[in-house]
Chain A
Amino acid sequence: MAPTNLTKFLFILSLVWLSHYSLAQQKYTINGYTKDAESGEELIGVTVYVNELKVGTATNVYGFYALSLPPGDYTLIFSSVGYQTVTRQISLTKNETYNVELPVEVTSLDEIVISDDPIDANVTDISMSRNELDIKQVKKLPALFGEPDIIKTIQMMPGVITAGEGTSSFFVRGGSADQNLILIDEAPVYDPSHLFGLFSVFNADVIKDSELYKGGIPARYGGRLSSILEVRTKDGNNKKLGGAAGIGTLASRFMLEGPIRKEKSSFIISGRRSYADLFLKAAGEENLVHFYDVNAKVNWKHNNNNRFFAALYLGRDVFNFDDTFGFDWGNTTGTFRWNHLFNDRLFSNTSLIVSNFDYALEFDDAVQGFSWTSNLQEFSFKEDLNYYLNTRNELQFGYHLTYRRFSPGKISPTSDASIFDTQEIQNDYALDHSIYIGNEQRLTDRLTLSYGARLSIFQNVGKSDVYLYEDPQDNIDIVRTDTLHYDHLETIKTYVNIEPRFAARFMINPQSSLKVSYNRMVQNTHLISSGTVPIPFNTWSPSNYYLKPQLADQVAIGYFRNFKDNTLEFSVESYYKDIDNVTDFADNAQLFFNRDLPTEYRQGDSWSYGLELMLQKKEGRFTGFASYTWSKTERKIDGVNLSKPFLANYDRRHVFNIVGTYDLNEKWSFGGSFTYSTGRPITVPAGRYKYGDVYQVDYISERNGYLLPDFHRLDLSATLTPRKNKDRKWKSSWVFSLYNAYSRKNAFTIYTRLQQDDEGNITNGNVKEARMISLFPVLPSVTYNIQF
């Protein structure tokens, strides 16, 4: 953004302030938290509506709301999907606090559901390009090996593409997998996969709420180009001790939650572990694989003005082959939060966040033994403030500071006789300051604006050596001409970027609205990978002497319409996204343990556009959604594919998904999902040739010039909840899943080899064949869950 635009922007902001001071004198503030009546969990996104004034707000991500109103008598309506609506009559003569508990909605199955939401978020909310996930529904949906997984549901959302089944990567509106910021309790998770992506790291038992931002991203988020996936875990029931456990086909789970001091303080702890390896071990199998997750959280609500939370996540995958060879990877995150009310209208969230990702590989051998380790750490301080100026303006502003340390690789011998030396690629360090401010302004009853900006100051700092090259793009004859030495915390390179954010919503009538948004995003952490799907062994790099920040500009327009008294939500959105300096790598790039990695960097352009339709039903016996996406994503990068444009690896032209659950009666409910998409592009040979008498080599003529076959799959599930024995304190349920019901062989990838027979013997050394790998045939699974 040019400085003149910035000046204008600041000018508008100051106008907002001025208008506040001239109007706000006669007002009082109502604020408070909204909670689940049963568990005491804070509820996010509860609509708070003032009937007399026809104005409203929604609780923020910490369950807090505030409204400034002139003195008077009001009817406040608190409503949220899945909860009974609560109405309060108040007489406002001074600043008041109303903490409200919402009872869970008990739907009688015979009743025809009429949504009682006075206003509906789909149409009235300013946010667009955003999807919330209903975790209760995710648990009823069919799941691979019976493990409910939010990322698999995210992959069904409009505008989201998957590279194939069995991966936890997702691709949002033309962005690559590393352009998604994945947060658990505000801490970033660098690799959200277990077992190379079969499952995500998110254990459904502890998830309270999750949402995906694909566009119109508020100013408080930054750091990645394409999406924000925010996952928040439960705080723990602060009224009574409870828990849940599940025994699945592949993994088992348990969760325990309860008050430490009733209504004041609570905890939740949860664990999940796969146990296939235990059986295999018993069967004498030496190749052992397992993963586990632990989530723990405590909170302490000192009073309405001060609340403290501490959350921990740790998870790891461990692979062992024949006792001699193994590797493992995992994430650890920790979050400490303090919610503080400075006054009735100024809400603050202060967070301290750590995140660690590491992997290790060990080969145990007297002569060739080595261990290989790599890790990265991130430490953040975040101060986020909400200022409830008046009923028309809600300000958000804050400051984020992040320090990152990247250790790309260290190799050391595991025995004295090993042929290997100890070698280490130097670490990278980065400091990241961000300041943001945004305002949501209800200009008129029909028009709401949201505008703001984020200032990102990113610094690659020492201690580090930077090599200068005769030609930094020459990865064959690498000639270093000089070395620049930087001391501890000395600045190597500073990148300053302003990220404007804008959104507008115009109500056409109470059932429909038009929304537009623009956002610029900056990404200063780059995934060093040239595969389609990241693997846990990838490393990350900060923007540095050679790597420039990636910049994305996105515009989106959408029409939102509700039908049948808000029970059916429909939207159509269209977007265009343009990315500058998208990070890619030279053909044949060597990305592991390369001291001259900068010679492999190739940054270029990427652009994507698409149309997304979504129809969703959130209440009633039948709930679910159908989505359709048409999109196209291309890249043009100097030095890649002969500098010609090519389709992105994850480009799919048409994607259609339908997901639904149906409650038949109190005992049975059924779920199903169907996905259809056109194939993604892949690079296949245009010919073959012989080299060195033995090698039959593919000749490649262009990148991503071939489309894999169409992808489609139907999954089904049934949940049986046996009639509850009245004396029993616990209830149980069975979830039966059928993954890939008609056993479609969906292409995962295609590779080539010499022609072989069924036993793997080469039948003709002069004939090649193409082999398609598909992952899962029809897979039934059973999960038994108890809740107490």
Chain B
Amino acid sequence: MNKNILYLLVLLAVAVLAGCEETVKLESEQVEPKVVIEGLVTNENIQHYVKVSRSAEFYSSGDFTGVTDAVITVEDDQGNVYNYVHNPSSAENGEGYYLSEDAFAGQIGSTYTLTVTLGSEVYTATDIIKPVTAIDSLEVSLNEEEFDDPEDEGYFYEILFYAKEPQDTEDYYLFKFYRNDSLFLDTETDIYYANDDLLGESIDGIPTAGFYKLGDKARVEMYSISRQGYIYYNDLYTLLNSDGGMFSPPPANPRSNLSNNALGYFQASAVVSDSIVVE
């Protein structure tokens, strides 16, 4: 559950009561582009990525052009240093993506420090890999309301999630749901994350996002995140779903672990996943 639910409720109520909307043009001032850094180290033995780009004007169109001349390393608390190279396979959309030269698996409990050097500017961030609980199982269930009145024809199965939440540790989670190997979001501003403040031990049959049709493959990835990561995703969610500050807090940049006022986040996670075919 998310604490921003209250703001959403208010918005919902306002929408129910009245409301008309139109697109308006903001006369926004020119500001210097900001460096945006995004990186992920997990406990999987793969080449991990870091992406570097710059912010654009609000009304600019098109995808972002990546920054290609950054020097990037990740160092763990054992002194291992991993160098990153820009788009080693020269992938078409790989501009701004850097991969670690070698595959490596992050260690649970270890701290990872990212250093991005861009000309004379240095950006650093540190995160820790927290343990993640196991996914006990996934289960397919027919949602009767959706069956009676499906939003999309044929899509009325939901995927239920089962796990045990460790009660003696403070844990934070980020979830990614895939429908037939593509990331699924209920709305384009959804982020699925949780803390365990209010959770009991038994997570029995909580539905994941979205509905599935027969033959679909569902995959759930659960990432452990640090408190810093939870704060980042919570802030990001609040910003993406802001009402402009009428009832919700004034929009603000998410609190990041990156130094030197860079936008984005460097995340270290343990990940578990499970998948199921709807049949």
Given contacts A287-B16, A588-B235, A695-B236, contact A531 B245 (CB under 8 A): yes
Q: Which residue of B lies closest to A164 (CB)?
A: B246
Can you list 21 residue pairs at the A/B interface with Cβ under 8 Å?
A164-B246, A196-B14, A367-B205, A370-B198, A419-B165, A419-B203, A421-B198, A531-B247, A533-B247, A537-B10, A587-B249, A683-B252, A684-B28, A686-B29, A686-B58, A687-B34, A687-B58, A698-B251, A766-B63, A768-B59, A770-B58
Size bracket of the B interface: 35 or more
Cβ–Cβ contact B249 & A531, under 8 A: yes
CA distance A208 to B274 in the complex (A): 67
Select the residue from A319, A683, A687, A754 with max chain B CB neighbours within 10 A.
A687
Q: Which residue from A535, A690, A745, A752 sits with its C-beta under 8 Å from B36?
A: A690
Segment at the B interface, from A70-78, A461-469, A573-581, A699-707: A699-707
Judge whether B231 and A476 touch: CB under 8 Å: yes
In the bound complex, residues from chain A placing their C-beta under 8 Å from that of B206 are: 367-368, 419
Partner of A417, one of B14, B204, B207: B204
Interface centre among A287, A421, A689, A705, by most B CB within 10 Å? A689
A688 CB within 8 Å of chain B: yes
Max count, chain A CB within 10 A of own CB: residue among B13, B38, B60, B197: B13
Cβ contact within 8 Å between B1 and A370: yes
User: Once the chains bind, are A697 and B236 in contact (CB under 8 Å)?
Assistant: yes
Select the stretch in A262-270, A378-386, A773-781 that faces chain B.
Answer: A773-781
Residues on B with C-beta less than 8 A from A55 are: none
Q: For the complex formed, measure the closest distance between the CB of B92 and the CB atoms of chain A, giving whole angstroms.
A: 15
State whether the Cβ of B250 lies closer than 8 Å to any Cβ in chain A. Answer: yes
Q: Which residues of chain A are within 8 angstroms of B91 by Cβ–Cβ distance? A: none
Q: Is B79 an interface residue (CB 8 A)?
A: no
Which A residues are CB-close (under 8 A) to B3?
590, 592-593
Q: Give complex CA distance A351, B8 in Å.
A: 40
Docked complex Cα distance between A217 and B57 (Å): 49
Which A residues lie at the B interface, using CB under 8 A? 163-164, 166, 195-196, 198, 287, 289, 319, 321, 327, 361, 367-368, 370, 411, 413, 417-421, 423, 476-477, 530-533, 535, 537, 585, 587-593, 649, 682-701, 703-706, 745, 748-754, 762, 764-777
The answer to whether A690 and B254 touch (CB under 8 A), given A531-B245, A773-B19, is no
Selected interface stretch from B81-89, B101-109, B149-157, B182-190 = B182-190
Contacting pair A767 B61 (CB below 8 A) = yes
Contact B16 A537 (CB under 8 A): no
Q: Mark B167-209, 1 if CB is under 8 A from A, else 0.
A: 0000000000000000101001101000001111011111100
| Complex Cα gap A753–B231 (Å) | 22
Q: A370-B1, A421-B200, A686-B28 are in contact. List 17 more A-B contacts (CB 8 A).
A: A195-B13, A196-B10, A196-B247, A370-B198, A477-B228, A686-B58, A688-B55, A688-B58, A694-B185, A695-B236, A697-B240, A698-B251, A699-B253, A749-B243, A749-B245, A770-B58, A771-B21
List B contacts of A368 (CB < 8 A).
1, 206
User: Which 10 residue pairs spanning A and B have beta carbons closest together?
Assistant: A587-B252, A749-B244, A689-B55, A530-B249, A749-B246, A421-B200, A686-B31, A687-B55, A772-B24, A592-B3
Residues from chain B with a CB closer than 8 A to the CB of A287 are: 16
Contact (Cβ within 8 A) B197 A423: yes
B residues with CB within 8 A of A? 1, 3, 6-7, 9-10, 12-14, 16-26, 28-29, 31, 33-34, 36, 38, 53-64, 165, 183, 185, 188-189, 191, 197-200, 202-207, 227-228, 231, 234-236, 238-240, 242-255, 263-265
**Cβ–Cβ < 8 Å partners of A705 in chain B:** 29
A196 to B264, CA, bound (A): 35
Does B188 lie within 8 Å of A694, measured CB to CB?
yes
What is the chain B residue whose CB lies nearest that of A537? B6
Chain B neighbourhood of A775, CB < 8 A: 14, 18-20
| A684 lies within 8 A of B26 (CB) | yes
User: Is the beta-carbon distance between A700 and B252 smaller than 8 angstroms?
Assistant: yes
Whole-angstrom distance between the alpha carbons of A531 and B139 in the complex?
41
Complex Cα distance, B64 from A306, in Å, reads 78
Please determine whether A683 and B200 come into contact, CB atoms closer than 8 angstroms.
no
CA distance A327 to B7 in the complex (A): 13
Residue of A419, A530, A688, A692 with highest tally of chain B CB at under 10 A:
A419
Contacting residues, chain B, for A196 (C-beta < 8 A): 10, 13-14, 17, 247
Least CB separation from B26: chain A residue: A770
CB B145 to nearest CB in A, in angstroms, measures: 9
> A337 vs B172: C-alpha distance in the bound complex, in angstroms?
53
Question: Complex formed: what's the CA distance from A592 to B247 in Å?
Answer: 13
Complex CA gap A163/B13 in Å reads 18
Which residues of chain B are near A411, meaning CB under 8 Å?
Answer: 198
- Chain A residues with CB under 8 Å of B36's CB are 689-691
Q: How far is the CA of A266 from the CA of B240 in the complex (A)?
A: 56
A413 to B204 alpha-carbon distance, docked (Å) = 14
A731 to B200, CA, bound (A): 62
CB-defined contacts of B1 to chain A, threshold 8 Å: 368, 370, 420
List the B side residues contacting A321 at CB < 8 Å.
12
The answer to whether B248 touches A531, judged by C-beta atoms less than 8 angstroms apart, is yes
Residues from chain B with Cβ under 8 Å of A749 in the complex: 243-246
Give the Cβ gap from A705 to chain B, nearest Cβ, in Å: 8
- Nearest chain B CB to A750 CB, angstrom units: 5
Would B252 and A588 count as touching, CB distance under 8 A? yes
Residues of A within 8 A of B23 (CB): 769-772
List, in ascending order, chain A residues with CB within 8 A of B240's CB: 695, 697
Q: Once bound together, how far apart are the Cα atoms of A762 and B185, in whole Å?
A: 13
CA distance A683 to B23 in the complex (A): 17
| Closest residue on chain A to residue B93 by CB atoms | A693
User: Are B263 and A418 in contact, CB atoms less than 8 angstroms apart?
Assistant: no
Whether the pair B244, A750 counts as a contact (CB closer than 8 A) is yes
B244 near A682 with CB under 8 A, answer yes
Chain A residue numbers with a CB within 8 Å of B38 are 691-692
Residues of A within 8 A of B203 (CB): 419
Give complex CA distance A703, B246 in Å: 13
Minimum CB–CB distance from B119 to chain A (whole Å) comes to: 19
Q: Which residue of A lies closest to B60 (CB)?
A: A688
Given the interface pairs A590-B3, A771-B22, A771-B24, the reply to whether A689 lies near B53 with Cβ below 8 Å is yes
Contacts A370-B1, A684-B26 given; indicate if A695 touches B189 (C-beta within 8 A). Answer: yes
Which B residues lie within 8 Å of A765 (CB)?
A: 188
Closest chain-B Cβ to A746's Cβ sits at a distance in Å of 11
Could you say which residues of chain B place their CB within 8 Å of the CB of A766?
61-63
Q: How far is the CA of A178 from the CA of B231 in the complex (A)?
A: 28
B40 to chain A, nearest CB (A): 9
Give the CA-CA distance A537 to B21 in the complex, in Å: 25
Hey, which chain B residues are within 8 Å of A537, CB to CB?
A: 6, 9-10
In the bound complex, CA of A367 to CA of B204 (Å): 7
CB pair A745–B20 under 8 Å, yes or no, is: yes
A435 to B217, CA, bound (A): 71
- Within the complex, the shortest CB–CB distance from A132 to chain B, in Å, comes to 31
> Contacts A417-B204, A691-B264, A766-B63: A698 and B58 contacting too (C-beta < 8 A)?
yes
- On whether the beta carbons of B22 and A748 are closer than 8 Å, the reply is no
